[in-house]
Amino acid sequence: MRNVTRENITEVFTGYFGPETDPRVREVLISLATHLHDFAREVNLTHDEWRVGLDFLEWAGRITNPERNEFVLLSDVMGLSSLVDMLHSVPETTSSSVLGPFHVSNPPPMPMGGDLKRHYEGQVVLVQGVVRDLRGNPIPGATIDIWQTAPNGMYSSQDPKQDIHSFHALMTADENGGYAFTTVRPVEYTVPNDGPVGKILDAAGRHPWRPSHLHFIVKADGFRSLVTEVFPDDDPYLDQDTVFGVRDDLVMKYVEQPAGTFPEEGFALSGQVPDAYAKVDFDFVLADG
């Protein structure tokens, strides 16, 4: 086509595909081009604005490295990561939520009742629950990969003072599908905002905060792996998570327990917690694989 116009350009684009194109690739690319063209027409995109967009992508590429992926962060703050999650969620199972960039591979195994808090200051939190299937049956042997921030709001990979595996662990559910461990309260923190994504947040008058949360990846043979996070119901950022990760079923309570009531056995900290502590009960429901 030599007479390309602002009206027919999307149709012309569609006509340029080769006959052997994979049908899904064709569907996705045509839809993407249709939305991009409509977007440019709708906002009457100027050359300067188009250039700003390309410079943004170039900066995101330059700042991206194995430890920091600015494109994933862009997807997160635009709500795309969460939308893709929700498009593929299975009703009645635990909602999935963003993975984020701070998961560390090969976390150290932690036995039932193990402790992540160690010498860190703060109230002890006892987290426990059961991994189940959609029919309510426990899933013995499910693995539960856990990670969170230290009380200074930093993940181990951001903080040279922490060992890389600090606040990371891999548990295996017992014969009843149960898991239990102790830790310290995670805290709210900001997503990295010193790069191009920070500029978008500034331009939109948005803050970079996430509510505090515990991250989990739960896996078991024959079931879909679940990547999720769990949030306390009293967090000030619960209704304004900058990456849109909060779902109703992922909100739980830190229930205060009186001093002197910490379990006398079964935990690495048994016999060492005379003070009041907090308890969190959270069960996971996995979808069939």
Choose between 56 and 237: whose C-beta lies nearer to ligand BEZ. Answer: 237
> Does residue number 110 form part of the binding site for ligand BEZ (CB under 6 A)?
no
Within 10 A of 100 (CB to CB), how many other CB atoms are there? Answer: 20
Q: Tell me if 81 sits within 8 A of 98, measured CB to CB.
A: yes
Q: Which of residues 11-70 bind ligand BEZ (CB under 6 A)?
A: none
Between 97 and 257, CB nearer to ligand BEZ: 97
Q: Does 146 bind ligand BEZ (CB under 6 A)?
A: no
Binding of residue 232 to Fe ion (CB under 5 A): no
Provide the mask over 78-107, with x wherever binding to Fe ion is found by CB under 5 A and - wherever it is not: ----------------------x-------
Q: What pairing do the DSSP bridges indicate for beta strands 255-257 and 251-252?
A: unpaired
Does residue 191 interact with ligand BEZ by CB under 6 A?
yes
Q: From 251, 279, 256, select the one nearest 267 (Cα to Cα).
A: 279
Calpha distance 158→167 (Å, rounded)? 12
| Contact of residue 98 among Fe ion, ligand BEZ, none (CB under 5-8 Å per partner type) | ligand BEZ
For ligand BEZ, give the closer residue by CB, 168 or 210. 210
| Position of minimal CB gap to ligand BEZ | 100
CB of 191 to ligand BEZ, least distance (A): 4
222 phi and psi angles, rounded to 5 deg = 85, 5
According to CB under 6 A, which residues from 69 to 98 bind ligand BEZ? 73, 76, 98
Q: Residue 127 interacts with ligand BEZ (CB under 6 A)? A: no
Distance CA 267, CA 285 (A): 24
**Structural tokens at position 204:** 């939109």
DSSP of 23-57: HHHHHHHHHHHHHHHHHHHHHT--HHHHHHHHHHH
What gap in Å lies between CA 17 and CA 36, rounded to an integer?
Answer: 17
Show the tokens assigned to 196.
Answer: 């191009």
Stretch that binds ligand BEZ, among 2-10, 51-59, 100-108, 233-241 (CB under 6 A): 100-108
100 vs 177, beta carbon nearer Fe ion: 100
Establish if 243 lies at the interface with ligand BEZ (CB under 6 A): yes
Per-residue buried b or exposed e for 105-143, using 16+ beta carbons within 10 Å of the residue's own CB? eebeebebbbbbbeeeeeebbbbbbbbbbeeeebbeebb
Rule CB under 6 A: say whether 102 interacts with ligand BEZ: yes
Binding site for ligand BEZ (CB under 6 A): 73, 76, 98, 100-102, 191, 210, 243
